[in-house]
Structure 1
Amino acid sequence: MAVPRPKVHTAGRRTVTAWGGARGAAALFGVAALVVPAAPAGAAVAAAPPGGVERAAAGHGTVSGRERTAGAETAVRDSDVLLAGTRTTGGDGAPGAGGGWWTVSTAAEDGARPYAVWAGRLDGTGEKQRISPDDGRHHVHPVTDGKTVVWSAYQGRWCYLLARPVDGGPVRQLDAGQGIGCAYTGLGVEGKTVTYTDVGYKSRPTRAMYLRMGEGDPVPIPPAGGGNPRTVSTSNPSLRNDRIAFDDCKYTGSTGTLCRITVLDVTTGRRTVVADAKLPAPTAITSRYVYWLETEDPGSGPGALHRVNLDGSDPVVVSPASGEDALRIDGLTASDDAVTVAARSADGTAAPETPVRLWQFSPDGSRRERVSCDGGDQVSPASAGARQVVWIDTTGGSTDLVTRTRPAGTCG
């Protein structure tokens, strides 16, 4: 048995492997840096964004009215539609948000590849911008800090980590790899710092990585204690104030999988183990806390939401794995003011077809509210700061990027 690997959503690609080691794009290609044009010569002009934008005061407790999907009138929303008809769900369609901007991956009318990355302002002003080049690659997993968009791109057996300023300019290649199922996941960006997981395969290690744009090659975060690359991993990094929270896991035949939630200070190089964890899922770090999901049963999915201070003190179970208020959680995002999860039910027993809902907690877990009362699935939440969240919503039968600036309440 190998250590747990991060989820990789591939839209038809096989799901494992990436080239290993500390090599960056420069080492891989034997050049100092690679800058990719925004579009290849002769490429078509970027298409208009899918759908339109419907703005309302939904973030302030009112509804946006009825919208039309495929010519039919659909349900009332209580969220603001930022981009209608993304035609993407799951990991490849997960949005990012930060610095007053959103970014998301969109598909063609029939949902076919390749996907494209778009960005726009959270307040709905200004024009939406196509960020990814129209070059035949599959562009997914975008994140932003309001200044830069970082995303993954795939073509054949190659995978790429790309970046571009939100206000335009060339696309910069930050990292690249080759292999069946090559993948970069769990992306984050803050200023010049970028974090991600380089997903391993066979003897190649899975590593949490970071880099400083324009200041050198990617840096792998090694597991504590070393060991066989197939039985140790670091993954699921999250980034805030140049601190990186990540999972550090090791498998042994006698003890099974043992994991620790660790924080790395990029400036000083200091590592702090903040908690032991059973089969942890994604982490989220803020200026005060580290959050993570964990489960005791790998077949049931993440069940408990945990929180701890940056130094490992004051551990809190924000949402328990069992009991009347348990949630079946699959998705995590946090700001200094709130932590938001995607979950299938409030009792932990929902069937897979039960709609996914977003729940937001205060950092100490004393307050729990529904982010939205919309009737469709609510997936892939991304914190936009304070209590605002963006997500993919399927209300009315379409997949749209939507937002609210504060939770809707109990939805009773």
Structure 2
Amino acid sequence: MPRLPRTTGTFALGAAAVVTLALAVPPALALPAAGTPAPDPDPVPALVTGTDTAAPQLVTGLSEPAPGDPAPAALAHLAAHPDRYRIDTGELVELGTTQGPDGRRTVRFEQRHGGIPVLGGQYLVHLTGQDAGQKVQSAGGRYFTGLTAPTTPAVPAATLRQAALAELPDPRSRDSAAAEDLGAVILPGGGGRLTEHYTVRDPAAGTAREVYVDATTGTVALAHDARAPRPATAPATSPATGPADGLQPATGTAPDAHGRTAAVHIAKRADGTYQFTDLTRPAPITTYDADGRDAGDFDRVPVPADAVPASSPTPDFPAATGEHGATDAHVNAGIVYDFYRDRLGREGLDGKGGAVVSVVNASDGGKPYPNAFWDGSKMVYGSGGPDYYPFSVALDVAGHEMTHGVVAHTAKLLYLGQSGAMDEAIADYFGNAIEATARGLSMDDPAAALLGESLCRTRAPQACAQRNLADRRTTTADYLGTRYSIDAGGVHLNSPIFAGALWDIRRTLDPLTADRVVYHALTDYLTPLDDFLAGRDAVLSAGRDLGLTKRQLRSVAAAFDAHGITPGWQKRLGTDSRTLLQNVSNGMATPAVARGHWLILGDGPAGTGLYTGTVDGHGTPVRLSPEDGRIHSWATTDGTNAVWAAMGGPRGAGQDVLTAPLSGAGPVRSVFRSTSTAQQLGNARISGTDIAFTVSENGRTRPYLSHDGGTPLALPLPEGHDVSELALKDGLLAWNETWRDGDSPLVTVPTLYSVAAGKVTARYAEHAPAGTGPSSAVSLTLAGGRLLWLDFPADHTRRATIRSAAPDGSGIADLLSGDSPNAPRSTVLTASDQAVTYQVDGDKPAGGWTNAALPKLWQVPLTGGTPQRLSCDRGGQYEAAADQGTRVIWLDATAGRTDLVVRDRPAGIC
């Protein structure tokens, strides 16, 4: 289903470190010596090393005594094996202990650094037996070693909140938006980052975002679509429901959306009327009618006090109850509840018999809303419309949304990238499993694999289905590589890959066994930041716990194999680029390169900072920026030295333009320092002994230049003129000069300044083709003795034209016309002395995003010619930076993560 305004867990559509640490296999789990006969292969690995940590991700095959109460015994076990686990048990806090039907117990711990929760930091210990016979069977999860992040914020709370609100794309929404402070969180990666976690809700757009603001710099460290449950202190619903409120169990009838009469469990009020509250289970099930109100009124907030459950003066409810979808939601909620209780032993979504709440008949600003979502505490179903029934009609959709509630109370999978895709996949799996079980569908029935096939009023079920779990998608053929800006990194787009593997397991094993295995993996193995491979290991480990034979385990492994969820699958995607740095997750990371040396903001062994390395991949990346609590970014290099801006940090730290040699052997030197909170530094550029940057103050931006290592001086500008963007190379400084003559539109003119002459030597007037109207010049760059820029028409009727001009202001020419089918559609432009590289953003296809529609890089000779694809990597390609010749580095999302990669020459036609 196309993504609609609600992004909080809609039915339709990492803070990871740079360096991976290897972990030696403990002697007790050593591999067989060379030459010894191999045992019967076991699909469940004995040990899985962790990434970005020295602690193992999974240790299985144990049988070690651990007598006593489960939580203290589990903690003592971890402490007794420091060489195996590499865990400081003083950082672990018990989240809870669950017990399976066979008596097996799982203790889940949360990692806290200085008392502050670590995002995704959870470790689990699995116990069997009782009392003195209790033993540890396995352990694993994610524990991040080497954390050194501070635990006290350096930035005022008001500033952090404003930074979170600034994450909203529309500034007009910030006054009405809400930023709920959920407390401090440590983001893992290197030494970690202290952040403040906010949920930002934009009522106008109907969106909610999880935003983590760096508490030492005041900048956004991570942001993604909302999915996490609300804090336990927040009321889930209001008003409360239950016998204590004067409600008494009753039965009645109500028509469903198709006009059929259904028997319903209801409650009788003290005044003799009736409402949709089912009191026959430990958890009350209540269904509210939004009566056409906007879905945003119910999104991540308690049910408004003026909203009431579906009601009737008699036990026989009126036709509107069915037309609005209330009857189907109420009945389906009971079916889902019973599936989890009777089949899997779970009492309610939270496992504790907590209230189950549904809201139906929600609109999209008064318009039909064909969608549904779990908001962290309840289900909200759209009204449907002329083409769709209310979304509560489909049992598999209800099962999908309610399963999100189960995930939120167990593994708490982070809603982005592969972890978010597994969240969606598990919701898809159980949604379909619940419907197939309730309807008595055979696993051979093609309809069993369809999700949402019963939603359409007129179209055939196959055409209406939102996803098909039997469509055989694989990582190598179908994984959509995108950054977090599209579908939170592909949470819906890539979920069918993992869901398909789970569905194949249900077709291979008997359905009940498969359901119990997947449920055990979710509740007792998965942790918030797990990826597809960790999901595979979790399911296999759960299968062995539940007594699957080796033959059955091999069939489970074969299901994952068939969907390409195998070790090293990212390396089999057919990429034609070389990886320089993996898991570049910082949203402010923009690479720079010159003379074979790259530079980027990243997370490394010395924490978050500017790291440099060589494009040949030799050597270890070197950190250039000091550890002073400030954000160091917007860096560039001339291949010998780097220059960047440092800002934020502790009060009084000030802002600096800093420079340092790429070797890391020389000192970090301040070129310009500002202690004024009214000033903002940016656009730092370097070429030999010349450094340029901008200073913005009181709404005006001016260029500064340090020539031959001298004191930076502000360059003169006519009154009312400003600059934006800078380019500096070989004694030439370029900027975009802007001004407005009276009420006329803003004028933007590329301007060239000669460092040697100390004056402006050329201004490049607008060069738009006749009849196209005014244009806007952006992305200035100097290469091959020429100035280049992108020229976008103000009316956005065409793509951008790549313009080139001589340094004396003459010879303005179109290197590539905006009429070209491969002309730029973004502001990314970079060039060497031989070639110009630019980014083409595709339009989202009518059928949804594809790899082909994601941004791709193209290259054209500096002298003109036919554009060629720089790389045939199938995923998104972002933030290109040109080196020498035709070599380019960029951020590539093809491999299921964002990597810094390089290619030496264009690939041509893909």
The question of 1:196 aligning with 2:698 is answered no
Q: Is the 8 A contact 2:859 2:867 kept in 1?
A: yes
Task: Letter of the 1:145 partner, please give it.
Answer: D
Q: 1:170 aligns with which of 664, 667, 680?
A: 667
Task: Letter of the 1:221 partner, please give it.
Answer: L
Q: Is the 8 A contact 1:210 1:219 kept in 2?
A: yes
Q: Is the 8 A contact 1:301 1:330 kept in 2?
A: no
Q: Is the 8 A contact 1:260 1:273 kept in 2?
A: no
What SS is found at the alignment partner of 2:895? helix
Task: Letter of the 1:297 partner, please give it.
Answer: A
Match in the other structure for 2:890? 391
The separation in 2 between residues aligned to 1:299 and 1:108, in whole angstroms, is: 41
Match in the other structure for 2:683? 186
Match in the other structure for 2:314? none
The question of 1:93 aligning with 2:589 is answered yes
The separation in 1 between residues aligned to 2:578 and 2:679, in whole angstroms, is: 36
Assess, with a 3 A threshold, how the Cα gap between structure 1 residues 367 and 126 changes in structure 2: closer, same or farther.
Answer: same
Match in the other structure for 1:211? 706
Match in the other structure for 2:627? 134
The separation in 1 between residues aligned to 2:598 and 2:873, in whole angstroms, is: 20
Match in the other structure for 2:580? 82
The separation in 1 between residues aligned to 2:734 and 2:788, in whole angstroms, is: 9
The separation in 1 between residues aligned to 2:680 and 2:907, in whole angstroms, is: 36
Match in the other structure for 1:221? 715
Assess, with a 3 A threshold, how the Cα gap between structure 1 residues 324 and 82 changes in structure 2: closer, same or farther.
Answer: closer
* Post-superposition offset of 1:408: 1.1
Q: Unpaired segments of 5 or more residues in structure 2?
A: 1-161, 168-189, 193-530, 534-564, 767-774
Match in the other structure for 2:908? 409
* Post-superposition offset of 1:406: 0.6
The question of 1:329 aligning with 2:826 is answered yes
Kindly report the root-mean-square deviation, in angstroms, between the aligned alpha carbons of the 2 structures. 3.2
Q: Unpaired segments of 5 or more residues in structure 1?
A: 1-9, 16-45, 49-68
* Post-superposition offset of 1:300: 8.0
Task: Letter of the 1:222 partner, please give it.
Answer: P
Q: From the two aligned structures, give the one with the greater strand fraction.
A: 1
Task: Letter of the 1:97 partner, please give it.
Answer: V
Match in the other structure for 1:58? none
Match in the other structure for 2:733? 244
Q: Is the 8 A contact 1:339 1:363 kept in 2?
A: yes
The separation in 2 between residues aligned to 1:396 and 1:312, in whole angstroms, is: 44
Between the two proteins, what is the percent identity of the paired residues? 27
Match in the other structure for 1:372? 871
Q: Deviations over 1:137-185 (max 9, x none)?
A: 1111221122212112221584321111122222111223356685433
Task: Letter of the 1:165 partner, please give it.
Answer: P
Q: 1:318 aligns with which of 794, 815, 824?
A: 815
What SS is found at the alignment partner of 1:161? strand
* Post-superposition offset of 1:191: 1.2
The residue correspondences of 1:241-320 to structure 2 (distance < 5 A) are 241-277=730-766, 278-297=775-794, 303-320=800-817
Task: Letter of the 1:250 partner, please give it.
Answer: W
Q: Is the 8 A contact 2:870 2:906 kept in 1?
A: yes
Assess, with a 3 A threshold, how the Cα gap between structure 1 residues 359 and 320 changes in structure 2: closer, same or farther.
Answer: same
* Post-superposition offset of 1:107: 4.0
Match in the other structure for 1:154? 647
Q: Deviations over 1:18-43 (max 9, x none)?
A: xxxxxxxxxxxxxxxxxxxxxxxxxx
Assess, with a 3 A threshold, how the Cα gap between structure 1 residues 359 and 183 changes in structure 2: closer, same or farther.
Answer: farther
The separation in 1 between residues aligned to 2:643 and 2:729, in whole angstroms, is: 16
Instruction: Kindly name which structure, 1 or 2, has the bigger radius of gyration based on alpha carbons.
Output: 2
The separation in 1 between residues aligned to 2:903 and 2:661, in whole angstroms, is: 25
Q: Is the 8 A contact 2:701 2:724 kept in 1?
A: yes
Assess, with a 3 A threshold, how the Cα gap between structure 1 residues 294 and 83 changes in structure 2: closer, same or farther.
Answer: same
Q: Deviations over 1:276-324 (max 9, x none)?
A: 1332212011232110112222778972211111122222212223353
The separation in 2 between residues aligned to 1:294 and 1:206, in whole angstroms, is: 22
Assess, with a 3 A threshold, how the Cα gap between structure 1 residues 79 and 300 changes in structure 2: closer, same or farther.
Answer: farther
Stretch moving more, 180-189 or 375-384? 180-189
The residue correspondences of 1:63-78 to structure 2 (distance < 5 A) are 71=533, 73-74=569-570, 75-78=573-576
* Post-superposition offset of 1:362: 0.9
What SS is found at the alignment partner of 2:634? strand
Q: Is the 8 A contact 2:784 2:834 kept in 1?
A: no
The separation in 2 between residues aligned to 1:310 and 1:151, in whole angstroms, is: 26
The separation in 2 between residues aligned to 1:342 and 1:150, in whole angstroms, is: 25
Stretch moving more, 249-258 or 282-291? 249-258
Q: Is the 8 A contact 2:648 2:655 kept in 1?
A: yes
Scaled by the length of structure 2, the TM-score of the pair is: 0.35
What SS is found at the alignment partner of 2:793? coil
Q: Is the 8 A contact 2:728 2:734 kept in 1?
A: yes
The question of 1:124 aligning with 2:124 is answered no
What SS is found at the alignment partner of 1:317? strand
Assess, with a 3 A threshold, how the Cα gap between structure 1 residues 123 and 177 changes in structure 2: closer, same or farther.
Answer: same
Q: Deviations over 1:374-401 (max 9, x none)?
A: 1222111111111111111111221111
The separation in 2 between residues aligned to 1:251 and 1:300, in whole angstroms, is: 23
The separation in 2 between residues aligned to 1:12 and 1:108, in whole angstroms, is: 25
Match in the other structure for 2:862? 363
The separation in 2 between residues aligned to 1:234 and 1:161, in whole angstroms, is: 18
What SS is found at the alignment partner of 1:397? coil
Q: Is the 8 A contact 1:14 1:181 kept in 2?
A: no
* Post-superposition offset of 1:200: 4.0
The residue correspondences of 1:2-81 to structure 2 (distance < 5 A) are 71=533, 73-74=569-570, 75-81=573-579
Assess, with a 3 A threshold, how the Cα gap between structure 1 residues 379 and 170 changes in structure 2: closer, same or farther.
Answer: same
Q: Is the 8 A contact 2:191 2:608 kept in 1?
A: no
What SS is found at the alignment partner of 2:803? strand
Assess, with a 3 A threshold, how the Cα gap between structure 1 residues 166 and 70 changes in structure 2: closer, same or farther.
Answer: farther
Match in the other structure for 1:22? none
Q: Is the 8 A contact 1:13 1:181 kept in 2?
A: no
Assess, with a 3 A threshold, how the Cα gap between structure 1 residues 96 and 250 changes in structure 2: closer, same or farther.
Answer: same
The question of 1:106 aligning with 2:602 is answered yes
Q: Is the 8 A contact 1:97 1:384 kept in 2?
A: yes
The separation in 1 between residues aligned to 2:820 and 2:677, in whole angstroms, is: 42
Query: How many residues are treated as equivalent by the alignment?
Result: 338
Assess, with a 3 A threshold, how the Cα gap between structure 1 residues 301 and 324 changes in structure 2: closer, same or farther.
Answer: closer
Q: Deviations over 1:319-351 (max 9, x none)?
A: 223353433132111111011112204xxx568
Q: Is the 8 A contact 1:238 1:284 kept in 2?
A: yes
* Post-superposition offset of 1:366: 1.1
Assess, with a 3 A threshold, how the Cα gap between structure 1 residues 402 and 300 changes in structure 2: closer, same or farther.
Answer: farther
Assess, with a 3 A threshold, how the Cα gap between structure 1 residues 257 and 207 changes in structure 2: closer, same or farther.
Answer: same
The separation in 2 between residues aligned to 1:255 and 1:330, in whole angstroms, is: 25
The separation in 1 between residues aligned to 2:658 and 2:608, in whole angstroms, is: 14
Q: Is the 8 A contact 1:305 1:317 kept in 2?
A: yes
Match in the other structure for 1:4? none
Task: Letter of the 1:369 partner, please give it.
Answer: Q
The separation in 1 between residues aligned to 2:659 and 2:903, in whole angstroms, is: 27
The separation in 2 between residues aligned to 1:300 and 1:87, in whole angstroms, is: 34
Assess, with a 3 A threshold, how the Cα gap between structure 1 residues 120 and 181 changes in structure 2: closer, same or farther.
Answer: farther
